[in-house]
Amino acid sequence: MATELWAVGLVVLATFVGAFGPILLKKASAKKLSSIKSLMANYHLMGGVFLYAIGTMLFIPALKGGDLSILYPLVSLAYIWVSLLSIKFLGERMNKLKWLGVILIIIGVSFIGLGS
pLDDT at 55: 96
Helices (H) and strands (E) counted in the chain, each on its own, are 6, 0
Question: Which DSSP state fits 30?
Answer: T
pLDDT at 41: 85
Task: Name the phi and psi angles at 32, rounded to 5.
Answer: -70, 125
The answer to whether the CB of 50 falls within 8 A of the CB of 18 is no
pLDDT at 38: 80
**Overall pTM surpassing 0.95 (yes/no):** no
The answer to whether the CB of 28 falls within 8 A of the CB of 87 is no
pLDDT at 116: 63
Block mean pLDDT (10 aa), the chain, length 116: 90 97 94 80 93 96 92 93 96 96 92 75
CA 100: distance to chain centroid? 19
